[in-house]
């Protein structure tokens, strides 16, 4: 499950993180991506205990609780460059901070081996599902960079409106991709992110 929050900024400094895309051409821009993992704790020594913990402590989105959740905060900045034929963009920087929320369980002493084994398998498959959303969100940031890099307007006072329109178009496209991904995987169920196992 994922949720995207987009904040558009113009002419402001941006944070650290891994950069990719665009090379050294200032008109092509760069993407800076950071991934943050957050955990919520669940307790118990049975399948039911762990299920109840996730149902009560798991991340919430649109009034529903989920075992895991991936969110993104995307920001972009650029400079307007007046030219003889219109207005171009330069020094484009798109920053995306992806936050992945997952459950964490420390097995108490005496926990049955099979329960620990099943939990570790569930953890891996849930993480793999959320990583699918992460990859889509990082690709979305790259497509925002490409959209801005290719943008030109007749006048510089039109740039912000047109840029926002292009970013919205990219967001809508990727929103559909996230929904399709969740539908195809049944929110991770077909990938094995099911608890209790076998249900």
Residue 76 structure tokens: 């972009």
Rounded to an integer, the average pLDDT of 79-97 is 93
Say what percent of the chain tops pLDDT 70: 86
Residue 8 has pLDDT above 60, yes or no: no
pLDDT in tens, 162-173: 999 999 999 999
pTM of this prediction? 0.84
Q: Which of 17-26, 28-37, 155-164, 182-191 has the lowest mean pLDDT?
A: 17-26
Are residues 151 and 163 in contact, defined by beta-carbon separation less than 8 angstroms?
yes
pLDDT at 27: 65
Torsional class of 27: left (φ above 0), alpha (ψ -120 to 50), beta (otherwise) = alpha
The closest of 128, 118, 114 to 191, measured between CA atoms, is 128
Q: What are the DSSP calls for 36-83, one per residue?
A: EEEEEEE--SSHHHHHHHHHHHS-EETTEE-S-EEEEEEEEEEEEEEE
Q: Is the pLDDT of residue 184 over 50?
A: yes
Q: In Å, what is the CA distance from 53 to each residue of 47, 64, 103?
A: 10, 15, 9
* Mean pLDDT across 3-24: 38
């Amino acid at each position: 499950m994922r949720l995207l929050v987009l904040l558009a900024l113009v002419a402001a400094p941006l944070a650290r993180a891994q950069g990719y895309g665009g090379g050294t051409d200032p008109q092509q821009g760069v993407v800076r991506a950071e991934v943050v993992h957050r955990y919520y704790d669940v307790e118990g020594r049975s399948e039911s205990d762990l299920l109840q913990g996730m149902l009560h402590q798991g991340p919430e989105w649109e009034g529903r609780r989920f075992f895991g959740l991936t969110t993104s905060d995307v920001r972009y900045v650029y400079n307007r460059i007046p030219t003889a034929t219109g207005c171009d963009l330069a020094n484009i920087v798109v920053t995306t901070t992806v936050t992945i929320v997952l459950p964490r369980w420390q097995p108490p002493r005496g926990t049955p081996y099979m329960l620990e084994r099943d939990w570790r398998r569930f953890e891996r498959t849930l993480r793999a599902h959320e990583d699918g959303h992460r990859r889509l969100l990082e690709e979305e940031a790259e497509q925002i960079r490409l959209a801005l890099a290719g943008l030109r307007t007749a006048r510089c006072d039109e740039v912000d409106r047109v840029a926002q329109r292009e970013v919205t178009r990219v967001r809508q496209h990727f929103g559909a991709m996230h929904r399709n991904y969740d539908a195809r995987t049944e929110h991770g169920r077909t990938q094995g992110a099911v608890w209790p196992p076998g249900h």
